[in-house]
Amino acid sequence: MAAEARELTVLVDTQRWRETVLDSVCLAVPAGRVTALLGESGCGKSMVAAALTGSLPSVARSTGEVRVHGTVGLVPQAGATAFAAERTVGAQLDERQQLFRGRSVEDACKAAIYPVETLDLLPHQHSGGQIQRAALAAALLSEPDLLVVDEPSASLDRGTAYEVWASLRTYAGTGAGVLAITHDGALLTETGVADAMVFLRDGRTIAAGSPAEIHALADPYVRGFFP
């Protein structure tokens, strides 16, 4: 098991706003598998990603159990936040490569379907889809045991989205656990990359299982994610 959460509850208290954003969430991310996390906007998917990767906001307090076995990598929903604003993406990928000394920058960019022609641009000079793939390349350089990707294909055309999902599948094939957050049940079904799906609603886990088990459910909330 690359990671698991049991009875994970997260309370956000900003002084002006107080809310339980995750309520007794249970989730498993097996090693060597792609687990997809789905749910409507604001239901808490990114908060699960933050809890698993140790990056909860300072206004959040968590209870319950989170276990991660090995190293973690996060591809944030806004890819630019994975980079410093004032240096080129290429320079920052080179620095990460020096730090981890694993795969080459070229190899990580290829795996992330990131176009190397834009390596010399600053993060904000990238398109939404380009910087998201650059953030994936950055995460792959550290070869984490648990890779959490938040909306990896939200800004991509269908063809490139397919390639990115296939690449996540390949990465899971190296033995890592991959947790991929998405709204796009149709794309998950078409690509067939998810070994398991977990659905969140209002901060709670409401369904989990293999794609076949999920497709057999009559729950209209779950069915609403598929064409």
Ligand X SMILES: Nc1ncnc2c1ncn2[C@@H]1O[C@H](COP(=O)(O)OP(=O)(O)OP(=O)(O)O)[C@@H](O)[C@H]1O
Taking CB under 6 A as the criterion, the residue among 3, 5, 21, 172 binding ligand X is 21
Q: Binding residues for ligand X, how many (CB under 6 A)?
A: 14
Residue 41 CA to residue 102 CA, distance in Å, equals 36
Contacts with 198 (C-beta within 8 Å, 6 or more apart), sequence order? 27, 35, 36, 37, 38, 205, 207, 208
Residue 118 CA to residue 11 CA, distance in Å, equals 40
- Which of 63, 174 has the CB closer to ligand X? 63
Instruction: Please give the structure tokens belonging to residue 8.
Output: 């994970």
Cβ at position 213, least distance to ligand X in Å = 22
- Which of 61, 223 has the CB closer to ligand X? 61
Of residues 28 through 87, those in contact with ligand X by CB under 6 A are 39, 41-47, 57, 59, 77
Residue 149 CA to residue 34 CA, distance in Å, equals 11
- Which of 14, 63 has the CB closer to ligand X? 14
How many angstroms separate the Cα of 62 from the Cα of each of 31, 39, 75, 179?
24, 20, 21, 20
Classify burial at 17, counting beta carbons within 10 Å of its beta carbon; exposed 0-12, middle 13-18, buried 19 or more.
exposed
Cβ at position 165, least distance to ligand X in Å = 18
185 binds ligand X (CB under 6 A): no
Of residues 83 through 122, those in contact with ligand X by CB under 6 A are none
- Which of 7, 19 has the CB closer to ligand X? 19
- Which of 44, 185 has the CB closer to ligand X? 44
Residues near ligand X, by CB under 6 A: 12, 14, 21, 39, 41-47, 57, 59, 77
